[in-house]
Amino acid sequence: MSSHLLEIRNLSVRFQSGSHQLTAVDGVDLTIDKGETLGIVGESGCGKTVLATSLLGLLPSSARVATHRLQFSGIDLSNVPSGGWRSIRGRRIGMVFQDPTTALNPLRTIGSQLAESIAIHDRSATSREIRKRIIDLLESVGIAGASGRLSDYPHQWSGGMRQRALIAMAISNSPDLLIADEPTTALDVTIQAQVLELLRSIQRERELAMIFISHSLGVVNSIADRISVMYAGRIVESGPCSEVLTTPSHPYTRALIDCFPEIGRSRGSLVAIDGQPPRHIGKIDGCRFRDRCNVGRDRLDCVSHDPVLKRAAGDRSVACHAVVI
Amino acid sequence: MNPIIAAGSTVVTLQDVRVSYRSRAEPILRGVTLTLSAGETLGVVGESGCGKTTLLRTILGLIPTDSGVVEVLGGDPPGLKDGSPASRAAIQLVHQDPFASLNPRMTIRQILQAPLRINGYEHSASRVRELLDMVGLSHSVLENLPAQLSGGQRQRIAIARALSIKPKVLLLDEPVSALDVSVQAQVINLINDLQGSQGFSCIFVSHDLAVVAQVANRIAVMYLGQVVEIGDTDSVLTEPAHPYSMALAASVPSLRQEPRGESWRGLAVGEPPSEMMTSGCTFRSRCWVATSRCDVETPRLVERTSSRQVACHHPQGR
Amino acid sequence: MSSLRSRIWVLRLISSTAGVLVWLLLAMAAPWLAPHDPFLVVGEGLAAPSWHHPLGTDLIGRDLFSGVLFGARTSATIVVGVAAIVVVIAFIVGLVSGYLGGIIDDFLMRIAEIFQVVPRFFLAIVAIAYFGSGVDRLIVILGLTSWSGLARVIRAETLSVRESAFIEAAQLFGSGIFRTIFREILPNIAPTVAVYLTLLLSRVLLVEASLAFIGLSDPSSISWGYLAGSSQAYLRSAWWIAVFPGLAILMAALSLTSLGDAIGRRERK
Q: With contacts defined as CB-CB under 8 Å, which chain B residues touch A210?
A: none
Span A94-113, average pLDDT: 86
Q: What pLDDT score does B260 carry?
A: 45
In terms of Cβ atoms closer than 10 Å to its own Cβ (0-12, 13-18, 19+), residue B189 is buried
Contact (CB<8Å) A218/B253: yes
Cβ contacts from A onto B, under 8 A: 134
Q: Is the pLDDT of residue C260 over 80?
A: yes
Span B50-63, average pLDDT: 91
- C3–chain A Cβ distance below 8 A for any pair: yes
- A188–chain B Cβ distance below 8 A for any pair: yes
Does C45 map to a domain?
Answer: no
The nearest alpha carbon in chain A to C7 belongs to: A18
Q: Is the pLDDT of residue A58 over 60?
A: yes
For A230-248, the pLDDT digits (tens) are 998 999 999 999 999 999 9
Span A257-264, average pLDDT: 88
Q: What pLDDT score does C268 carry?
A: 63
The nearest alpha carbon in chain C to A18 belongs to: C2
Give me the residue from B62, B92, B102 closest to C166, CB to CB. B102
Distance from CA of B274 to the nearest CA of A (A): 9
Contact (CB<8Å) A264/B253: no
Does C247 map to a domain?
Answer: yes
Please give the residue range of the domain that contains residue C180.
3-40+52-268
More confident of the two residues B88 and C192: C192
Cβ contacts from B onto C, under 8 A: 57
For chain B, which residues lie within 8 Å of any Cβ of chain C, measuring from their own Cβ? 60, 62, 80, 85, 88-89, 92-93, 95-97, 100-106, 114-115, 118-119, 158, 161-162, 165
- A247–chain B Cβ distance below 8 A for any pair: no
- A83–chain B Cβ distance below 8 A for any pair: no
Q: With contacts defined as CB-CB under 8 Å, which chain C residues touch B88?
A: 172-174
What's the one-letter identity of residue A222? S
For A165-222, the pLDDT digits (tens) are 999 999 988 899 999 999 988 888 888 988 998 999 899 899 999 999 999 999 999 9
Close Cβ partners of B130 (under 8 Å, ≥ 6 residues apart): none
Distance from CA of C268 to the nearest CA of A (A): 17
- pTM for the structure as a whole: 0.86
For A121-156, the pLDDT digits (tens) are 888 888 888 899 999 999 889 888 888 889 999 988
Does C70 map to a domain?
Answer: yes
B-facing residues of A in 30-49 (CB < 8 A) are: 43-44
Least confident span in A278-282, A295-299, C78-82: A278-282
Number of domains in chain C: 1
Q: What pLDDT score does A57 carry?
A: 85
Q: Predicted ipTM?
A: 0.86
Does C21 map to a domain?
Answer: yes
Q: What pLDDT score does B83 carry?
A: 58
For C18-30, the pLDDT digits (tens) are 999 999 999 998 8
Q: What pLDDT score does B2 carry?
A: 40
d(Cα A293, Cα A115) in Å, to the nearest integer? Answer: 51
SS3 A63: strand
> What residues does each domain of chain B span?
10-90+167-240
What domains appear along chain A, each with residue ranges and CATH number? Answer: 6-92+175-318 (3.40.50.300)
Instruction: For chain C, give the DSSP string.
Output: --HHHHHHHHHHHHHHHHHHHHHHHHHHHHHHH-SS-TTSB-S-TTPPS-SSSTT-B-TT-BBHHHHHHHHHHHHHHHHHHHHHHHHHHHHHHHHHHHHH-HHHHHHHHHHHHHHHHS-HHHHHHHHHHHH---HHHHHHHHHHHHHHHHHHHHHHHHHHHHTSHHHHHHHHTT--HHHIIIIIIHHHHHHHHHHHHHHHHHHHHHHHHHHHHTT-S-TTS--HHHHHHHTGGGTTT-THHHHHHHHHHHHHHHHHHHHHHHHHHHHH-
Contact (CB<8Å) A191/B271: yes
Close Cβ partners of B89 (under 8 Å, ≥ 6 residues apart): B115, B119, B165, B166, B167, C173, C174
SS3 sequence, B177-238? CCCCHHHHHHHHHHHHHHHHHHCCEEEEEECCHHHHHHHCCEEEEEECCEEEEEEEHHHHHH
Q: With contacts defined as CB-CB under 8 Å, which chain C residues touch A18?
A: 1-6
- A260–chain B Cβ distance below 8 A for any pair: yes
Q: Is the pLDDT of residue C52 over 60?
A: yes
Which site among C166, C171, C269 would you substitute to test the B interface, given the most B Cβ atoms closer than 10 Å to its Cβ? C166
Q: Does domain B10-90+167-240 have CATH number 3.40.50.300?
A: yes
- A127–chain C Cβ distance below 8 A for any pair: no
Q: What pLDDT score does B81 carry?
A: 63
Q: What is the CATH classification number for the domain harbouring C207?
A: 1.10.3720.10
Contact (CB<8Å) C169/B101: yes
For B98-131, the pLDDT digits (tens) are 889 999 999 999 999 999 999 888 888 899 999 9
Q: Is the pLDDT of residue B261 over 50?
A: no
Q: With contacts defined as CB-CB under 8 Å, which chain B residues touch A271?
A: 185
Contact (CB<8Å) C170/B101: no
Distance from CA of C81 to the nearest CA of B (A): 29
